[in-house]
Amino acid sequence: MKLVLEDGAIFEGKSFGASHEMKGEVVFSTGMTGYVESLTDPSFAGQILVCTYPLIGNYGVPDATLFESEKMHIAGLVVSEYSEMYSHHEALGSLGAWLRESKVPAISGVDTRALTKRLRERGVMLGHMAVKDASDFTDPNRENLVAQVSIKEKRVYGNGGIHILVVDCGMKENIVRSLARPEVTLTRVPWNYDFTQESYDALVLSNGPGDPEMCAPTIANIRKSMRSGVPILGVCLGNQLLALAAGGSTYKLKYGHRGQNQPCIDAETGRCYITSQNHGFAVDANSLPSSWKVWFTNANDGSVEGIRHATRPWRSVQFHPEASPGPTDTAWIFDDLLKELSGRRRLAVKQL
């Protein structure tokens, strides 16, 4: 099997996944571990993933309860070396068998360093994985990927007194785990659901794939929600959606940020956090209204990694505080939201 890039470059390898062809956007991730979580992250929808870490598959695949969604979302997988032999106490099968079951093609024996350098120098490109010649390509960013991966019906978790409404734009399951507390009722709604008709104490905007401008209904509903002044927290795509709802703009990064080792600096404290990331678009800092400020920046390229409103309880981050995979350095962002909501609830009870 081979991977053909739109610039004509060809990378040949040995197939260890499904044997059929697949098209997508070729991106790379710098994570050293966490392939199970990455492959089930809906933010990878439509993308052919190149792993920069040279050995993949050595710890197999665990039970599906540890996945970040119900299925695999990548279009294809490219690795340097695949380990058919795996060893881990939670492993139930091999990565290759899982890929074949999921109908996702994968190749090993590729010079992933050369491929990654090409993507860094020229930017992410469209690719075609095929057994024979391939000359046509499909850009997944021209599709509404969020509509493809979002849930179709509302779901409710828990029965606590604090009501958090989460807009699922391709949400990772660990966001649910991070917010699910005894004191919380979590309502999860589809990307285009009119949540302005609901009553809730806070709004959370999830991660997801593709171009944020495709989510016009979500952006419109966020704007309506802002009129009430309810607290808002955005994560990854949610950061871009909040910026667009506020009147800002977004742009496509040259090769994006994907992996579990991205350094982000808190503009308020100067502290640097190592974060888990998976995105190809970013917020334009110069487009933000004067009432908004940059909260986090990427230490590598200076791009926006978080925004906050000057007076309203609205904020968002471009990275993944829920991690999975990756470091949990910024899990406090969820904790801060819950502390704020608990404080508001206690104040409301006192006023009664």
Q: For residues 99 and 106, is the Cβ–Cβ distance under 8 A?
A: yes
What type of residue sits at position 134?
A
Q: For residues 247 and 289, is the Cβ–Cβ distance under 8 A?
A: yes
Cα–Cα distance for residue pair 64/36, rounded to 1 Å: 10
Cα–Cα distance for residue pair 141/215, rounded to 1 Å: 12
Q: Which of 163, 257, 279, 320 is catalytic?
A: 320
Helix/strand/coil for 265: strand
- Give yes or no: 169 in active site: no
Give residue 5's Cα distance to chain centre: 24
Cα–Cα distance for residue pair 251/211, rounded to 1 Å: 9
Cα–Cα distance for residue pair 134/127, rounded to 1 Å: 9
Residues 6+ apart with CB under 8 A from 75: 22, 23, 24, 25, 45, 46, 47, 48, 104, 129, 140
Q: Which of 163, 236, 305, 309 is catalytic?
A: 236
Cα–Cα distance for residue pair 34/32, rounded to 1 Å: 7
Q: For residues 26 and 51, is the Cβ–Cβ distance under 8 A?
A: no
Cis peptide before 325 (omega within 30 of 0): yes
Q: Which of 37, 68, 305, 322 is catalytic?
A: 322
Give residue 287's Cα distance to chain centre: 23
153-173 burial, b if ≥16 CB within 10 A, otherwise e?
eeeebbeeebbbbbbbbbbbb
User: Which positions are catalytic?
Assistant: 236, 320, 322
